[in-house]
Structure 1
Amino acid sequence: MTEFENVRDALKEAIEIADTKGIKTKVGKNEYHPATVEEVQEMLSEHLYNIADLLGMSDLYLDD
């Protein structure tokens, strides 16, 4: 997971993921397949968690 230094960079990359058509994920050395909904959600959630951390709001996703 990429750790961003600021909210702007994290949001920019999350928006790029959300706007991308035909996202592919690596499954082998030189093999890719279309990303599943779950894989895209995982990509976005990592960015959202990092944004929450940068804003001091990790309680939004941490279990009590």
Structure 2
Amino acid sequence: MIKNEVITYFGGVGKTAKALGLSHASVSGWSELIPKGRAFEIQVLTKGALKVDVSLYDKPTATAI
């Protein structure tokens, strides 16, 4: 789930933070791809209006050689 989509849906960083029970700083600190667990929480909170795209999170990890 992309940060800008979430913030736009809720109407700003402050409103996003309030809806999720987080601080403004926490929401501001998200990278463009918000944390996976938080994305699922938002999907439930928005009753599916915003959906998690699991393909964004299922990137292979680098392995040590």
TM-score by length of 2: 0.33
TM-score by length of 1: 0.33
Task: Tell which has more relative contact order, 1 or 2 (C-alpha 8 A, sep 6+).
Answer: 1
Question: Which is strand-richer, 1 or 2?
Answer: 1
